[in-house]
């Protein structure tokens, strides 16, 4: 009798639990669907960019940008209302991944912060100007990690892994390594929206599949592109202090103001991890390329190759998180370094300069 009751209780419990989970799932699905249907509150930059590229629903799409620059009227298939919302959300995510500009960050950004460790990183820290960086004359810039060009060139073998890497999977690598986080499921709206936005950029800027676009990725700068004096930590430190420390802080922990990131962290817990391609010891050509082509903002392409490599070398020697696949020991070491090194460095600076300690920077001590 008691076993019978126990068995019945077991079954009832299971049915209740699974029923509850099912109801929860339907509720969450409904919520997602309502977000998908809701009008999108664009960030100011997105409103400007998408407005300039004439994103609207309709039968056909003609890029005003292409028309203005080349005079060519290229007619592409148009977008539905739903397509437009998807692209708008994608633009928002790239511009403001952490949701600082959103009213309800979790809902409007599909919980992107769930997939990012730290509070700094946003897609457009690397993919600058919302993944579409142009000079004063409106020309797309070489080596500026343009998302539209990336989408057009996505179906190529990845140079470093040798794999045919779909655009969606490449985004996951961004989440895992560049933002030192976790990857969203490939079927998640986060991935789909950013893909849709990138694809829209490729249409608006007329990037054709099968062509090579200089705007895709960064211009890699190998050691052979320098006067071959070797990568120098000391030179790098001096250059960093002189050219980068104003914004990124003396220890590269970034700069925050009013809860918003002015300059992202280049080291420490808010930065990319040791498995990212930005990490000098993993791929030594990409971070120098990024610096040369994209830094400092407004004075791009002013640093010589040699200096970019030195700065990149210096930055990569600062403590940063370990990658997920490097194991618990490396992770522990890096966590320890991130805790121990900053105060030590500050102390040595103080002693060396004989001045008052530098103010604590934002970001690294949370």
Point out which residues bind another protein (CB under 8 A): 7, 10-11, 14-15, 18, 21-22, 24-26, 28-29, 32, 111, 114-115, 169, 172, 176, 182-189, 324-325, 328
Task: Report the residue number, 184 or 268, with the smaller CB distance to another protein.
Answer: 184
Task: Report the residue number, 140 or 181, with the smaller CB distance to another protein.
Answer: 181
Count of alpha carbons within 13 Å of 99, Cβ hemisphere only?
17
What are residue 173's phi and psi, to 5 degrees? -65, -35
Least gap, CB of 108 to another protein (angstroms): 15
Task: Report the residue number, 240 or 279, with the smaller CB distance to another protein.
Answer: 279
Least gap, CB of 118 to another protein (angstroms): 15
CA distances from residue 106 to 52, 113, 118, 129, 152 in whole angstroms, order as listed = 28, 8, 15, 23, 30
The full DSSP string for 89-127 is HHHHHHH-TT-TT-SSHHHHTTTGGGG-SSS---HHHHS
Report angle CA 267, 263, 295 to the nearest 5 degrees: 90
Least gap, CB of 187 to another protein (angstroms): 6
Q: What is d(CA 303, CA 10) in angstroms, rounded to the nearest whole number? A: 69
Least gap, CB of 103 to another protein (angstroms): 20
Q: What is d(CA 158, CA 17) in angstroms, rounded to the nearest whole number? A: 45
Helix (H, G, I), strand (E, B) or coil at 257: strand
Least gap, CB of 180 to another protein (angstroms): 11
Rg over alpha carbons for the chain, rounded to the nearest Å, is 23
Task: Report the residue number, 68 or 185, with the smaller CB distance to another protein.
Answer: 185
Least gap, CB of 12 to another protein (angstroms): 11
Question: How many of the other CB atoms lie within 10 Å of CB of 109?
Answer: 22
What are residue 317's phi and psi, to 5 degrees? -85, -10
Least gap, CB of 74 to another protein (angstroms): 33
* DSSP classification of residue 29: H
Task: Report the residue number, 172 or 205, with the smaller CB distance to another protein.
Answer: 172
Least gap, CB of 322 to another protein (angstroms): 12
Beta-sheet strands, E only, within the chain:
60-62, 75-77, 255-257, 260-263
Task: Report the residue number, 169 or 238, with the smaller CB distance to another protein.
Answer: 169
Cα first-last separation, the chain: 57
Task: Report the residue number, 18 or 70, with the smaller CB distance to another protein.
Answer: 18
Q: Mapped to the 3 state alphabet, what secondary structure does 32-86 carry?
A: HHHHHHCCCCCCHHHHHHHHHCCCCECCEEECHHHHHHHCCCCEEECECHHHHHH
């Amino acid at each position: 009798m008691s076993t019978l009751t126990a068995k019945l209780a077991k079954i009832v419990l299971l049915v209740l639990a699974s029923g509850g989970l099912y109801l929860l799932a339907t509720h969450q699905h409904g919520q997602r669907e309502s977000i998908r249907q809701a009008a999108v509150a664009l960030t100011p930059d997105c409103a400007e960019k998408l407005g300039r590229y004439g994103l609207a629903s309709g039968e056909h799409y003609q890029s005003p940008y292409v028309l203005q620059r080349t005079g060519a009227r290229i007619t592409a298939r148009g977008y539905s209302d739903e397509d437009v919302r998807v692209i708008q959300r994608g633009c928002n995510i790239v511009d403001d991944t952490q949701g600082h500009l959103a009213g309800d960050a979790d809902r409007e950004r599909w919980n992107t912060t769930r997939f990012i460790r730290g509070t700094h990183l946003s897609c457009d820290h690397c993919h600058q100007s919302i993944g579409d960086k142009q000079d004063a004359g409106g020309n797309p810039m070489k080596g500026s990690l343009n998302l539209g060009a990336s989408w057009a060139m996505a179906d190529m073998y990845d140079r470093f892994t040798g794999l045919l890497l779909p655009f969606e999977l490449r985004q996951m690598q961004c989440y895992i390594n560049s933002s030192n986080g976790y990857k969203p499921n490939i079927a998640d709206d986060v991935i789909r929206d950013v893909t849709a936005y990138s694809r829209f950029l490729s249409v608006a800027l007329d990037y054709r599949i099968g062509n090579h676009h200089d705007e895709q990725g960064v211009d890699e700068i190998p050691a052979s592109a320098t006067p071959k004096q070797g990568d120098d930590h000391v030179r790098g430190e001096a250059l960093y202090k002189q050219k980068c420390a104003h914004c990124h802080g003396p220890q590269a922990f970034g700069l925050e103001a009013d809860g918003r990131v002015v300059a992202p962290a280049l080291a420490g817990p808010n930065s990319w991890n040791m498995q990212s391609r930005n990490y000098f010891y993993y791929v030594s050509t990409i971070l120098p390329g990024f610096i040369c082509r994209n830094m400092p903002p407004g004075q791009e392409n002013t640093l010589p190759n040699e200096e970019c490599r030195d700065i990149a070398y210096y930055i990569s020697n600062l403590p940063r998180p370990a990658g997920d696949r490097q194991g618990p020991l490396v992770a522990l070491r890096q966590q320890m370094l991130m805790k121990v090194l900053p105060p030590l460095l500050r102390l040595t600076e103080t002693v060396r300069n004989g001045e008052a300690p530098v103010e604590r920077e934002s970001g690294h001590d949370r």
